[in-house]
Structure 1
Amino acid sequence: MTIAPGSKLPAPPATLWEGGPEKQVTFPSSGKFIIIGVPGAFTPPCSSQVPGYIANYPQFAAKGVKDIYVIAVNDVFVTKAWKESLGKDSPVHFCADSTGEFVKSLGLEFDASGLLGNIRSKRFAAIVEDGVVKKVFVEDEPPNITVTAAEKVLEEL
């Protein structure tokens, strides 16, 4: 079942990491934050989408967003290197869902074995407030960046 507005956000699994395997991700229990799901770090569409969130971070913060989490079904070393290549000093969190367990708990996985070798995240954006999903945007095709573009999500806040 796919998350929808009004759904409680599932707790992140122990294998959702940021920066290293010893750094488990926890989401804020209060306040507003955004989760961005991407099919793969370093892929051309993902590497063109995420900089919009980095560049517009101050505008998101001005609208009450405390944190932005980019989730990729990659290992933690790849997501760390990806952050370093896109915005090393950015406050945007780059998180590794190495087994896809988190995106599966959201119902937002797809089989990308033909191109990327395994199950990956659909391209999505979710606005979460106080642990409850307020809005979810999912692209109809993984390479598309329309409803999940940073500027579009900003308009929805």
Structure 2
Amino acid sequence: MTIKVGDKIPAATFKVKTSDGIKDMTSDELFNGKKVVLFAVPGAFTPTCSLNHLPGYLENYDAIIAKGVDTVAVVAVNDPFVMGAWALSTGGEGKIVYLSDGNATFTKAMGLDGDMSGGGMGTRSKRYSAIVDDGVVKALNIEEKPGQAVTSGAAALLTQL
């Protein structure tokens, strides 16, 4: 079942690449007592994700934080080394938290997984954005077409804050 506005974020443990190596970050650490903008992409380094979706969050980062957001995070069904490399290559390291959901555990628990095996990508996340306040979903924007980042883009989300 797909998560919806008013639901609590499921418990999960992500992997994040830090200067000290790969570390675990739990959903409680990320969301409890914080206002978080979370967006999900089908894959790091993929065209729409790298050229459209993520850049909008980087460009609007200061405006999002100015609206009282504590953390901006991106999640993808990629390993933490790929997510770390993506953070470095996009200039987002130190701003956006790049969450690895390598086994799609969190993505499946959210009910936002999709079969992209036709394109050779296997199970991936649907493209979405969410505003999460103290672990509770306050807004959820799921893209109808994975090659677009309009509904889940930073500009649209900024109007919801």
TM-score range, shorter chain: over 0.9
Quote the residue 1:4 is aligned against: 4
Residue number in structure 2 paired with 1:98: 102
Residues 8 and 118 of structure 1: CA distance in aligned 2, closer, same or farther (over 3 Å): same
Give 1:144 deviation, angstroms: 1.0
> What is the CA distance between 1:95 and its match in structure 2?
1.1
Q: Decide which of 111, 122, 132 is 1:128's aligned counterpart.
A: 132
Shift in Å, 1:142: 0.8
Runs of 4+ in 1 over 4 A off after TM superposition: none
Return the offset for 1:31.
2.4
2:153 matched residue in structure 1: 149
CA distance in 2, matches of 1:116, 1:71: 19
Partners of 1:141 and 1:88 lie apart in 2 by: 25
Counterpart in the other structure of 2:25: 25
Which residue of 2 is the match for residue 35 of structure 1? 38
More helix by share: 2
Provide the rounded CA distance (Å) in 2 between the counterparts of 1:88 and 1:155.
22
Residue of structure 2 equivalent to 1:113? 117
Instruction: State the identity %.
Output: 41
Unaligned 5+ segments in structure 2 are none
CA displacement 1:75-94 (0-9 Å, x = unmatched) = 11111001100015441011
Matched AA of 1:142: P
CA contact (8 A) 2:83 2:100 kept: yes
**Structure-1 separation of matches of 2:144 and 2:92:** 30
User: Retained in 1: the 8 A contact 2:115–2:122?
Assistant: yes
CA RMSD of aligned residues (A): 1.3
Question: How far, CA to CA, are the matches of 2:84 and 2:74 in structure 1?
Answer: 11
Q: What stretches of structure 1 of length at least 5 have no aligned partner?
A: none
2: distance between equivalents of 1:34 and 1:95? 13
